[in-house]
């Protein structure tokens, strides 16, 4: 698959973990009165909410022409989840710091 064929999916995965995952996780902690969750708890909650958009990640038809892009989507989803859990997603870590500083 050419790089230009997956450009839009790459951009989505650059944003979705922190825009969706962290935003919803932050609201969950705020509504539950948890001002200083552990990093691990914040990461796990971020992954929980990020995974709620999985249906859209598998919405392409089960046709041969979509196989390669679907494999790439599955790979990136798993890679992003692991990066979040390992503390390697800089945007998630930045959102955690902001939440505990300004909760």
Domain containing 13 equals: 3-102
DSSP assignment of 70-94, as one string? HHHHHHHHHHHHHHHHHT--HHHHH
Residue linked to tokens 């914040």: 42
pLDDT tens, per residue, the chain with 103 residues:
566 788 999 999 999 999 999 999 999 999 999 999 999 999 999 999 999 999 999 999 999 999 999 999 999 999 999 999 999 999 999 999 999 998 6
pLDDT at site 90: 97
pLDDT at site 4: 76
pLDDT at site 5: 80
Task: Report in angstroms the alpha-carbon separations of 4 from 8, 10, 11, 70, 88.
Answer: 8, 10, 11, 15, 25
Count up the domains in the chain and report the number.
Answer: 1
Contact 82, 47 (CB under 8 A): no
pLDDT at site 95: 97
Helix H or strand E segment including 30: helix 23-31
């Amino acid at each position: 698959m050419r790089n230009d064929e997956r450009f839009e999916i790459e951009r989505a995965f650059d944003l979705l973990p922190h825009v969706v995952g962290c935003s919803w996780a932050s609201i969950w902690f705020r509504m539950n009165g948890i001002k200083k969750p552990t990093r691990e708890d914040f990461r796990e909650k971020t992954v929980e909410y990020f995974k709620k958009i999985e249906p859209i990640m598998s919405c392409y038809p089960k046709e041969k022409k979509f196989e390669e892009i679907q494999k790439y989507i599955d790979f990136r989803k798993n890679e992003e989840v692991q990066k979040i859990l390992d503390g390697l997603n800089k945007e998630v870590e930045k959102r955690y710091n902001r939440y505990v500083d300004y909760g």
